[in-house]
A and B are shown apart, each in its own frame.
Chain A
Amino acid sequence: MSRAARSVASFLVVIGLVATIWEVVKLLGGEATEGWTPPFQWRIANDLNMPHIWDIAASFAEPAQRNGPPLGLVLADAAVFTLREAFGGFVFGAILGLALAIVFVHSLLLERALVPYVVASQTVPIIAIAPVVVIWLQAGWLSVAVISAYLTFFPVTIAGIRGLRSADPRALELMRSYAASPFDVLRKVRLPAAAPYLFAALKVAATASVVGAIIGELPSGIRDGLGGAILNFNQYYVSGPPKLWAAIIVAAVVGFGFFTVVRVAEALLLRGRMRTSET
């Protein structure tokens, strides 16, 4: 079995395992059905708090609102909308993160002066930052992308500093002997050396960008994305518990999908340096 097939298989096994545990919990402490009375009565396991897996699955095909399109379609639209914001946040964050890393690697002074603030920025909860960004930029995909970028730039900066510094000092000396410009050193030595570090950070940033976009939608009052859907189905939870769960699943799939895209890009771009796996 190839490596890719193996990881898909193990992924499916884990999903199956989670679904099984979910239903076993319901069997032990859920609601009574015809011919089965569970030995326990757990509040968490009733049909309101933990809908059956098949009810969640079925909800994708049912209309989200009376006479409306099926929930699956509504969530797919919302996912595309959110993904666009997340992608914007990912790109802004990656560019800002890498730019900061490049500046810090070239200036010890700026690194000393600014890195503490970069770190501090991440201790401010995004929920507090988001409304401010919406006030500044007005509600719209741009403000959501900026909120998302707030989460994504950080791992890229930290990994970027580390990666750009990981260049072999003798390689830098070699470039010095060629009288290479700082730009050539960056382009031909530091960035290629940093690439594995950057991809590790970009994978974190990919999933963080989706979280950032979903959260960013809330203070923006944007109703078309997954954040809006989650808020909506949460408010009307009692009338259809599976809908919120369906929205959560879609959000996870979107984040995971984005992660996978970055992972594939990494495998393609870093092909040829798989030194350890092939020798």
Chain B
Amino acid sequence: MSDAVVSLRGVRKVFGAGSDATNALEKIDLEIPKGAFVSLIGPSGCGKSTLLRLIGDLTQPTAGTIEVNGKSAHRARLDRDYGVVFQSPVLFDWRTVERNVELPLEMSPIGKAARVERARAMLALVELTGFERRYPWQLSGGMQQRVAIARALSFEPAILLMDEPFGALDEMTRERLNIELLRIWQQTGTTIVFVTHSIPEAVFLSTRVVVMSARPGRILDVIGVDLSQPRNDLTREDERYFGFITRVREKLRGRDVGRPSAVEVAAS
């Protein structure tokens, strides 16, 4: 067994049945190594969010197997291996920032004092110290999304699943949060699966970019991005950075029609 945290084999997902059936995903084979930062990118409707939800056991595959940490995705969810962040922060209006971060911990056996301490540490990690007692609606969109990240990380999940988490934010905030997310990723060592439709964002963040095709969603290629770590604002001016962006873009445009649509990905 390799060091893959997530491994999908022959995964297929069909929505609906009969003549209304839509092939959302087909022939998905993918391995995600421990500690990787993997982005899923593709045109809208390519099933990248569905793929993320399959990994997180929020929906079930029609065929194929999904293994997470050597067990089924279902088992992994029950073991609380996943932290999830959506495009909108989905914070609870009636809870303070601190109590929002505590939410997942309330369902684990740790005590109140440890919970508060943990929430404070997480808020410090996302640089929101001093906002513990505020309510979500008193924060900006970027700050709300940072609270959502703190909440997802509070119980130290093995895998962080992020579905276009910065899609609704302005460019400036998005770039700042990208750098913060990389810092958090390096500090925690969490494996991250990140859905985006921004090519620069995918390249900047990832160690691997999974390029997908539209309906039925297939994996066109997996591009390893070996830009040096830690990445920062200078990375965005690096020539190799632009080189990777061009590669991903060309792959998305379908320059290599005729090659096998699903590429076996060895964890090289």
Residue of B90, B94, B96 touching A168 (CB-CB under 8 A): B90
- Residues from chain A with a CB closer than 8 A to the CB of B138 are 279
Give the interface of A toward B (CB within 8 A): 168, 170-171, 173-174, 176-181, 184, 188-189, 192, 195, 270, 272-273, 275, 279
Assess whether A188 is in contact with B58, with CB atoms less than 8 Å apart: no
What is the number of contacts between chain A and chain B, taking CB atoms within 8 Å?
54
- Residues from chain B with a CB closer than 8 A to the CB of A184 are 106-107
Q: Which residues 118-171 in B have Cβ within 8 Å of A in the complex?
A: 135, 137-138, 155, 161
**0/1 per residue, B74-113, Cβ < 8 Å to A?**
0001111011101010101110100000011011000000
Residue of B80, B84, B93, B137 touching A173 (CB-CB under 8 A): B84
- Residues from chain A with a CB closer than 8 A to the CB of B94 are 192, 195, 270, 272-273
Residue of A168, A179, A275 touching B77 (CB-CB under 8 A): A179
Contacts A173-B58, A188-B106, A275-B93 supplied; 19 other A-B pairs, CB < 8 Å: A171-B90, A173-B84, A173-B86, A176-B58, A177-B56, A177-B82, A177-B83, A177-B84, A177-B161, A178-B155, A179-B78, A179-B79, A179-B107, A184-B106, A189-B92, A272-B94, A272-B96, A272-B135, A273-B135
A173 to B92, CA, bound (A): 13
Minimum CB–CB distance from B173 to chain A (whole Å) comes to 19
Interface of B is mostly: loop
The count of chain B contact residues (Cβ–Cβ below 8 Å) is 25
A188 to B105, CA, bound (A): 12
- Known contacts A273-B135, A279-B137; A177 and B58 CB within 8 A of each other: yes
Minimum CB–CB distance from A115 to chain B (whole Å) comes to 28
Minimum CB–CB distance from B60 to chain A (whole Å) comes to 12
- Residues from chain A with a CB closer than 8 A to the CB of B58 are 173, 176-177
Assess whether A275 is in contact with B137, with CB atoms less than 8 Å apart: yes
